[in-house]
Amino acid sequence: MNITIVGSGYVGLVAGACFADTGNDVVCVDSNAQKIERLRKGEIPIFEPGLSDMVIRNAKEGRLTFTTSMKEGVEKGEVIFIAVGTPQDEDGSADLRHVLDVAKSIGQHMTGFKVIVDKSTVPVGTAQRVRAAIASVTSQPFEVVSNPEFLKEGAAIDDFMKPDRVVVGVESERGAKVMRDLYAPFVRTNNPILVMDVPSAEMTKYAANAMLAARVSFMNEISNLCERAGADVDSVRVGIGTDSRIGMSFLFPGIGYGGSCFPKDVQALIRTGHDFGLDLKLSRSIEEVNKAQKKVLGRKISQHFGDAGLKGRHFAVWGLAFKPKTDDVREAPALVLCKELLEAGATLSLFDPEAMKTFEELLGKHSQVTYVSNNYDALKGADALVICTEWNEFRRPNFKKMRELMKAPLIFDGRNILDRGVIAQEGFTYHCIGRKPVLGAAQN
């Protein structure tokens, strides 16, 4: 099939590479000329495991090309995916400007029947607006399909190649057939392609993200209560997760969810409720709990140092990305924490395996901040280590080396990745989330 993907970010580029890898001819369009130039040279602008090899191989074999020209993209694609960003607008709703601009542009360049697929996360009713935008500039026939994306950054290729399910919202059997043919190679183990009406498909994406965010916020709330009540959230997590009605995934407490999806999608869902005259109280609370949770580690740090304050203190921070295996720092809890520490007059040595460049772009240049090239370098002269992202490589550190480098053996672990038994043996003071602290040598 000839496929065009408009928007070559996390979703568009992964989708483009995976569709090309199953033998389709794919054109990726992006309005960012620099990005397209880099992609043409085989440089991948984001970090995503396996993506670089797949893009380079399919480009070399001629199935994957890149352009800034909508005209070229629309002419070549029988199926045209819209995978541009839908950032949060000032009032919390999804900003559909890019989606509707692209829709209009598709309409302007169409010369025959096209299937136009909303892959961006868009609120219920958007397909209608996309249809209207296209119809306002063309009399050519077309169908608008909704196909929300469920990939996870850090595992995007795997998720796309082997999805739990594919959700497709269609208006006709013609649209359904095109989508079934396109996705057939991805569901060979009989994972379902769920064909439904368009509004239900649009709603499914928001309901899924809000449900996952709810689990995170619920566990964070329980972890705070565990701390007060002397319970251990790890035991509670296993205790509830082994109930088959609940399940183990998405039950880890921490310092809040971030990324480009959960925060904005929960907000947009609240806004959609508002538009339909419904106050989505639970969704509002998911968001509120998350915002507060991003401040929990900062509060523990302030409490530990007490009246002595944080001015002039030096902190090592391990992990900046909103989760491991990505360089995405949008809405990352590390951003909130680092800003708090900087405002309190501390200096920071930051390390992340992939996200230092993106983090610096978002935080801005700062005289109190140094980026270092490995996690141990960050510890030199540090009053404490703060862990913000659960990268695997942080899980079994060399404590002896850490003690030698740090001013005091003190750790604040926002992701509960270290073993308290080992920590106690090693003489560290250790603060974590929803579990009793280990009170070692560094008491002040």
Exposure on the CB side of residue 45, measured as CA atoms within 13 A: 17
| Residue 84 touching ligand NAD (CB under 6 A) | yes
The interface mask with ligand NAD, positions 126-165, x = CB under 6 A, is -----------------------x-x-x------------
Could you tell me the smallest distance in angstroms from the CB atom of residue 260 to ligand NAD? 5
What does the DSSP assignment read for 15-83? HHHHHHHTT-EEEEE-S-HHHHHHHHTT--SS--TTHHHHHHHHHHTTSEEEES-HHHHHHH-SEEEE-
Q: DSSP label at 438?
A: B
261 given a catalytic annotation: yes
Q: Which of residues 294-353 bind ligand NAD (CB under 6 A)?
A: none
What distance in Å separates the CA atoms of residue 112 and residue 205, rounded to the nearest whole number?
Answer: 30
What distance in Å separates the CA atoms of residue 34 and residue 37, rounded to the nearest whole number?
Answer: 5
Could you tell me the smallest distance in angstroms from the CB atom of residue 119 to ligand NAD? 6
If the CB atoms of residues 94 and 222 are measured against ligand NAD, the closer one turns out to be: 94
Among 26, 29, 115, 216, binds ligand NAD (CB under 6 A): 29
Question: Which is catalytic among the residues 18, 28, 261, 432?
Answer: 261
If the CB atoms of residues 10 and 376 are measured against ligand NAD, the closer one turns out to be: 10
| Residue 121 touching ligand NAD (CB under 6 A) | yes
Residue among 94, 176, 99 at smallest CA distance from 131: 99
Tokens 């029988």 appear where?
Answer: 78
Q: DSSP label at 94?
A: B
Could you tell me the smallest distance in angstroms from the CB atom of residue 307 to ligand NAD? 43
| Residue 65 touching ligand NAD (CB under 6 A) | no
| Residue 74 touching ligand NAD (CB under 6 A) | no
Q: Where are the beta strands (DSSP E) in 189-343?
A: 193-197, 314-318
Among 3, 4, 5, 8, binds ligand NAD (CB under 6 A): 8
Angle at 362 between CA 216 and CA 372, to 5 degrees: 95
Angle between helices 51-60 and 33-40 (to 10 degrees): 70
| Residue 6 touching ligand NAD (CB under 6 A) | yes
Could you tell me the smallest distance in angstroms from the CB atom of residue 257 to ligand NAD? 12
Could you tell me the smallest distance in angstroms from the CB atom of residue 294 to ligand NAD? 19
- The amino acid occupying position 173 is E
What distance in Å separates the CA atoms of residue 287 and residue 270, rounded to the nearest whole number?
Answer: 10
| Residue 261 touching ligand NAD (CB under 6 A) | yes
If the CB atoms of residues 264 and 435 are measured against ligand NAD, the closer one turns out to be: 264
If the CB atoms of residues 12 and 434 are measured against ligand NAD, the closer one turns out to be: 12
Point out which residues bind ligand NAD (CB under 6 A): 6-12, 29-32, 35, 83-86, 98, 101-102, 120-121, 149, 151, 153, 260-261
